[in-house]
Amino acid sequence: KLEGLKTIAVTTNGINLTRLLPRLKEAGLNAINISLDTLVPAKFEFIVRRKGTNLSSKAVGLIPSGMSSCLVNCVVMRGLNEDELLDFVDFTKDLPLDVRFIEYMPFDG
């Protein structure tokens, strides 16, 4: 560890987190942000253009207590996932993390 370093953090979509988390914790990881915009597999594949929502949501459930910061970031998109807000709250209510709903901000002018 580096002297004076207080936080080692990672932002991830969580797909490989279940495999990598033990090594990351050994390296001193103490803060994590998981980007997860939907809990519905078909929507996940549409948004990120790959399979993996089950792995992403499983990773959320594996976040260990004792992390200084654990966040799930969900970009809310009208017509795509705004109907899942209560599902996210229910999914994470008993986990040691916070869900942050982020406004979709298109950058197309």
Q: Where are the domains of the chain?
A: 9-103
DSSP label at 63? P
| Average pLDDT of every residue of the chain | 83
- State pLDDT tens for residues 3-55: 888 888 998 887 788 788 888 888 888 888 888 898 888 888 888 887 766 66
Nearest alpha-carbon partner for 84 in 103, 70, 101, 69: 101
Task: Give me the half-sphere count of Cα atoms (radius 13 Å) on the Cβ side of residue 20.
Answer: 15
Phi and psi dihedrals of 41, rounded to 5? Answer: -50, -45
Q: Give pLDDT, residue 35.
A: 87
- Which pair of structure tokens corresponds to residue 88? 């996210």
Q: Give pLDDT, residue 57.
A: 65
Full-model pTM: 0.77
- Rounded Cα distance between 71 and 60, Å, is 9
Q: What is the mean pLDDT of residues 58-71?
A: 72
* Whether residue 1 has pLDDT greater than 70: no
